[in-house]
Structure 1
Amino acid sequence: MLGRGVDQILPHPGDPALREPYIRDARDYVELAEAANGPIPRPVDFEWPWGDALRVLDEAAPDARILNLETGVTRHGCFAPGKGVHYRMAPANLPALSAARPDVCVLANNHVMDFGRRGLDETLGALAAAGLRTAGAGRDIDTARLPAAVPLPGGHRVLVFALGMLSSGIPFGWAAAGDLGGVDFVPEPSLSAAAELVARVRQWKRPGDLAVVSLHWGSNWGHEIDRDTVGYARALIDGGVDLVYGHSSHHPRALEVHRGKLILYGCGDLIDDYEGITGYERYRDDLRPLYLATVRADSGRLEGLRIAVLRAERMRLRYAGDRDRAWLGTTLDRVSRPFGTRVEVAPDGALAVRTV
């Protein structure tokens, strides 16, 4: 979420005007962060928000870096009606996104169209001009449904399909349809909807490809996962999807390894401007997990999952301390145990996942 307050500390801040009930200037979020953890230099360099996450990524050297970009990239000033919160970052600040060298930016979420279809169109153009692949939104239904393809050694690919659900706050009117631009939208996690998506995955997937489904779903807070959501995710795995990448909650939710394949029900936030906002401290949303999954190319089975634990401080990601890592490990272990998954702190300080 590189928009709003984060955008204001970068070299080319956009219009800070907001239409939220209590905050009308995005710079107020910077002040909240400063009140919590100290002054933030302005402007910061483009790598600042990522902080220690860049070192984690460089050391892991993943074949594919996939993130959910939950903001418009636009200077368009027409606020989408009926929404209490609007996110945008200035296109000139896109180097702050490129700094992490993402292979796919998922756009099927409840903020990509905060400035309407004109804002979405500018977002798509800016990301394309920066050479960044996208999935989950487009200028018509066909492009919104196209998977992003990341080449792998041996001619194989990681295929990323991205969809957003009503439960995450995406309005019905944002759905792409015919020649109308928007997001790849599914109203609810039904088994019939899973079957439709599985059919699309099978049309694209070749032997040796890995299929990732990114889902923006569920509420912002809480560890509860309803039966329909679990059934939908498992149906995708049963149908040939290799990894389910869920997000929307501002803190991480349970993990599951179903038939040897990974389901992330909620990854939590990585970068945002929530630092200093009170009311949900019990969820420790200041702790920011970065997921490093090792998957077999021939079968899609999970070989290992390491979770690097970072902490937001002065709108920058820093390595979390021992007590913070232990707290998050204990919490994820507790909420994942009903799914047959255990989480523990590894000797190197990362969280490690094992099945029972």
Structure 2
Amino acid sequence: MKPSPLKLLFVGDVMLGRLVNEVLKGKPPAYPWGDTLSLLRDTDVRICNLECVLSDWGTPWSATPKVFHFRSDAKNVQTLTTAHIDAVSLANNHVLDFEYEGLFHMMNTLQEAGIHYAGAGVTLREASAPAIWSVNGKTIGLLAFTDNEPAWSATDEQPGVWYVPIELHEKRAEQLFEVVRRTKEDVDILVVSAHWGPNWGYVPPVEHLPFARALIDAGADAIFGHSGHVIRGIEIYKDKPILYCAGDFIDDYAVDEIERNDRSCVFVVETDGAAISRLFLYPSVIQQ
């Protein structure tokens, strides 16, 4: 019998802090998703980059200079669960905005809500560990890394993010590729999330192309990139999708009239067994 197709959905940065947090004090948890909610609920796997701290604890990060600190009330984890979000990337430049206390509270909040996460942890071992779960008889894996905020790099003794420079032969990059190879042995579909590159610009940085392809060569089935605020193009490499940057999906940011960071897509990848068969893009606009 031919296996049923599996639909994996990706949306870019989900930032529930600042004005979004204020709105959620008077609106239902589903409100920020607008009319995309039915699309999210109609897929099998839903993954986003959580671009804020979900916590009621912690004080703003002050060890190194930082302009923006994004935090949303812990109760707003319901905004994720109401959309049936399965997993989030925590490897980004806002996960420690409210120090380690905020990170630990957020990880506990996500665990209690049944949401998987990858990319941050109490140690490097934990930050570089995959999130693995099963859906419709298929095992899904998520790895998440970032080239942002090197000061937040997790170590054997320090909590933080899985920091990896985008340099093919750098030691930490080689360790990433090895983790991808090992993880692929245990899962049917492996997604690698990359919070990488500078803000703005529709063209992927030149170093991202060989790096993303190397991740697929190592065993990744899909590359889920984000961080740049705008969509940076898609490549199909060896029949596998590379989303170089998925753009912003929920936030309160000022809109650049040229770059139009309020415009993005819901990305849906359909599998045929363990192979990627189709990719759908559903345009979206942030309305405030």
**TM-score normalised to the size of structure 1?**
0.73
Amino acid at match of 1:236: L
Match of 1:180 among 151, 158, 168: 158
Residues 58-89 of structure 1 show CA distances to partners (whole Å, capped at 9, x for unaligned) of 3xx32211111110112234211210001000
After superposition, the CA RMSD in angstroms is 1.6
Secondary structure in structure 1 of the residue aligned to 2:264:
strand
Match of 2:205 among 222, 226, 229: 226
Match of 2:4? none
Match of 1:209? 188
Per the TM alignment, residue 50 of structure 1 is displaced from its structure 2 partner at its CA by 0.4
Kindly report which structure 2 residues correspond to 1:176-325, keeping only aligned pairs within 5 A, or say none.
Answer: 176-192=154-170, 193-206=172-185, 209-274=188-253, 277-278=254-255, 280-298=256-274, 300=275, 302-314=276-288
**Identity score, percent:** 36
State which structure, 1 or 2, has the greater radius of gyration over its C-alpha atoms. Answer: 1
CA contact (8 A) 2:197 2:205 kept: no
CA contact (8 A) 2:24 2:76 kept: yes
Q: Does 1:163 align with 2:145?
A: yes
Amino acid at match of 1:141: L
Question: How far, CA to CA, are the matches of 2:174 and 2:118 in structure 1?
Answer: 20
Match of 1:92? 75
Question: How far, CA to CA, are the matches of 2:117 and 2:30 in structure 1?
Answer: 21
Match of 1:137? 120
Could you say which structure has the greater relative contact order, defined with CA pairs below 8 angstroms and 6 or more residues apart? 2
Query: Is the helix fraction higher in 1 or 2?
Result: 1
Question: How far, CA to CA, are the matches of 1:57 and 1:225 in structure 2?
Answer: 27
Per the TM alignment, residue 204 of structure 1 is displaced from its structure 2 partner at its CA by 2.4
Match of 1:106? 89
Query: Number of paired residues?
Result: 271
Residues 104-132 of structure 1 show CA distances to partners (whole Å, capped at 9, x for unaligned) of 11100000100111111111111112221
CA contact (8 A) 2:128 2:143 kept: yes
Secondary structure in structure 2 of the residue aligned to 1:190:
coil
Match of 1:5? 19
Unaligned runs of 5+ in 2: 1-14
Unaligned runs of 5+ in 1: 12-42, 315-356
Per the TM alignment, residue 141 of structure 1 is displaced from its structure 2 partner at its CA by 1.5
Question: How far, CA to CA, are the matches of 1:250 and 1:102 in structure 2?
Answer: 21
Q: Does 1:116 align with 2:90?
A: no
Query: Is the strand fraction higher in 1 or 2?
Result: 2
**TM-score normalised to the size of structure 2?**
0.89
